Structure 1
Amino acid sequence: MKKSISKKITRIVILIVFFSIALLGSINFYASYKQTLKAAGIELTGCANITTGIINAEELFKLTKDDSSVTPSVNEQLNWTVDHKPIFSTHYILSLDGKVLASDQHLKDIGLEIGSQVALPKEALTHLMQGHTYYTSLYVVNGEERQTGYAPLFKDHNPKNEVIAINAIDFDGQVIRERTWETNKGTLVVTVLLPIIAAFITFVLVKKMIQPIRFIQKQVENVANGDLTHPPLKIETNDELQALAQGVNTMVQSLKTLINEINQTGTTTTNNAQELSASAEVAHQAIQTMNTNINQTSDLILNQTNLTQQADQHLNQISTHLNQMDKTIQHSNEMAIHSYEHAQSGQKIVDQTLKQMQAIHENTGQVNDIIHSLNYKSREISQVISIITRISSQTNLLALNASIEAARAQEHGRGFLVVAEEIRELSVQTKEATQQVSTLINEIQLESKKSVEQATNSQKLVDEGITFINETNQAFNQIANTAQNTANQSKQLTNETKEIKAKMRILVEEVHHVSQLAHQVNETSQQTGQVSAEQIRVMDEFVLVSRNLSIIADQLKQSIQQFQIK
């Protein structure tokens, strides 16, 4: 189901107006609520300040001193406030720390009683201690919304004295909401009615404005159905709709002219297409005959080309084999030269190795002699150590005897006793040192013996290495001679192969030239055949197009006959 433009525009206008008014109404309601809350707070603080006078100053002072005997009297005084002004819900007195000292009979309705603790805001206490009133915003006490106004209670009701208690009066939160609703009721009603009125006015105006569009739509539908006999549109709105109507009129007139021209052109096209089709069929038969002759000539040339290409391929294969043979011979020659060079290098290395082995042989002999000499010296040192050990033992014995004699001499031999003791200690230390040196010399002699054995074995291995190097030197001489002979033979074979390659290259070029000529002739023949085949294909398409053109011309005449222009 299609929706009219007027309904769509009306819906959009309703949404815009409703959103705007709803936004303004919400802002207005919130501002009114804040003003009502402020007015209620001022009213609460004013009443709390005024009603301080109904409380007996002496009883109030006793009440702050926890004298409960005056509580019933003060409670009765507080009942007066709500009884005479029912808009208030509760009247009670707080201590400076938030404790309920006295209250009217309505305090129990919110779940509080005398002695209960009330959460007193710090900001409120600060204002009250400075002698100012204070009111709160809405807050919840046991599920009930409240607003409280506070006024300071001075000693003897004299503002010059200190604050001894707090006078508190509550508003029910529902009263504030009802006041706000009463204030904004009219505005909310207008908020609901105004979009409806705006929608009705918009619908009427839009429907009147789009009436010309219906006329234009009807004219376009007539053109779509092939009816061009209707009179031009007459719309005078001096806006885009008038321009659109003029454009539709121009389109209809242009369409009439186009249909007349197509009708005339279709008849001429049909006649020309029939003549063109007949001529194309004659040309098609002639081209087919020429194409048959060209194909026969192309087959003969193709056979000749194939034979020439086969000969060219065989010669190329022979030339390739010769090139490979030449590369192989050159590679063999290079390998032989490299072998000869490597053999000479190896021979030089062997000579150097032989010299180094001989030097190692001489050094090994010298090392062997040094180790023998070291072993001999170690034995001599061992003998000296034995002598030192015996001397140390004898010295120790003499020191012991001297100590005994010094002990016999008592006071006269005390100095000699000290010297004898020092000599004995030196003897002991000398003995220990000689034992350590003896141990080290034994280890040196053992290692020297092993070194002599290793040096002897190394000298034998060096002798064997010299023998092997001499044999290797002879083998390198034989390899060098053989490699030189191989290089000379490879060089001679390379020269002969180059002469054969030169002659074969000339023969290959001549056969390849003949093959290229035959290939060019074959390509020319094939191109001619392809051109001929393409001409046949084009003529087939041309015949088909001419026939289709005739059919299309007839269909075009039938199509434009559905338009009524007279």
Structure 2
Amino acid sequence: MKSLHLRIMLIFSFIIVAAGGLLSYQIYASSLSLITRSLGEQARSVAEHAVRQIDPVSYRKLAEELTENAYYKELRLKFNDMREANHLKYLYTMGARSKGESTEYFYVVDGMPLDTQSGDFSPLGKVETELHEPLKKAFRDREVQVGELTKDESYGALVTVYVPILTSTGEFIGVLGADMDATSVYELLAANQRKVLLMSAAILLASLAAIYAVSRMIVTPVLRLTREMEKVQDGDLTVTIQVKGRDEVSRLAGTFQQMVYVLKDMIYGVQESVHDMRQATALLSSSAEETSASSERIAGHLAETASDSRVQLQCTGETARAIGEVGEGVQRIADALAIVAEASQEATDAAKTGDELIQSAVSQMAVVQDSSRDTAEDVERLKQRTDEVSQIAEMMRAIASQTNLLALNAAIEAARAGEHGLGFHVVADQVRKLAVQSEESALRIGELIDAMVADTGKVVTGVHRQVREVDTGLGLIDSAGTAFGRILQETERVGSQVQELSAVSEEIATGSEQVTASADELERLSLQSSEHQQGIAAAADKQQEAMRRMADLSGTLEEMSVRMEQLIRQFTVEK
């Protein structure tokens, strides 16, 4: 049964029919009880008066002998007069006797006229075969019994009263029965019953008409609201519901209209969020491409720097070996002053060679310094780009959170709509899932960006430390070049200043030890710089891999935004 109108009609019709039936039955039962009680009291009064007219002694003799004597005729006349005077149909007395294990009841005096035919009254001693429960109860309990209103074809409608007949000593000798004629009352009850049924039918028809009108007043706006809700279910959010009146249906229509407005604003907000998400995705993709290109450039610079560091390390080794040779020459000068001239010449040649090597190392260190500074600048720009990408990822997380909140609000409103909001609930659930996926992707991008920022910070720190170490090495090499210059000058003056050869040899030995220590330190720093360059190159490779993953995530995010747009296109909203 799908029609609310029909259900209202059937339910209220059933209620009215049941109420009318119960009311009619109650009226009939109350009337019947009242009439029975009234007639019974009247019959009882007559019966008690008739009992007082009986002589117990004469009646006992009559009941025992069962012979029609003068007293029998006297009682019949009295009973007949009372019967006619009080509009009784029958007035009679009865007795009881045992017959085996059972009891039979017989008539003693029947208050009908003396000239009544034998078939119209009950003669003395006639046994009654149709026994009523009030009669048996009157003999058993020896108390007054008032029967119900009965009707049969033989006696008609009657109300019977049974009064016990007692002697002056209280001995029970029989029962007097009085049948009050209730035919007219019974007919009146039947007529009233027909009137009640007719009135009930009229009331039912009037009630059905009123129910039909009221149900149409209720169902018509509900049907109109249902049609508008079906349009909304199909995705049309441009519907406008005319709200009239202040009843529950009108308030329901107004609430539904407000829900449509809220849903329209929500869908419009989701559309704008999806548009912003697509723009952010495009910006993120562009930034990822720029960052990837910067990473490739950094990797190239780092590869060149690593190559220069290997050359630097080789030059530093050669410088260390040359300085070692100088130290050995100075030692030989100190040990053998006899061959000072020859050793001075060899020292001069070695000093020239060392000066050339130092100048070459200085030039190479300058190149390394410029390359390190370029690398530091590139890494600083990479850090700035990474900060921008981090801000974009934060904006994507905020958009995803807003979308998730909007999807939650849509699910709440769909749940309030009940069965008609199932379609919105599915859409809201899909939007919420997409928002959760967007937020998870944004969080993953944020984690990658944070890791990249940490690695970039390490690279920046390493590059700055490398620049400082290169500056330190360059200063040491400059110092070594100055020392070699002094060595060359002193060696050229050896020939003319042999008398000062011993003192000069000691100074050269001391300077040689310092230069050797500086060369060893420079070699260590060069080796450390090479290791740092390799670490920077590895970090650049990781950064490039992270950029590729970021680009892949950007593509996934763009696909998600396209799917969200396809879902939103199912709704028609006015901007």
Normalising by structure 2, report the TM-score.
Answer: 0.40
Question: For the pair shown, which has the larger CA radius of gyration, 1 or 2?
Answer: 1
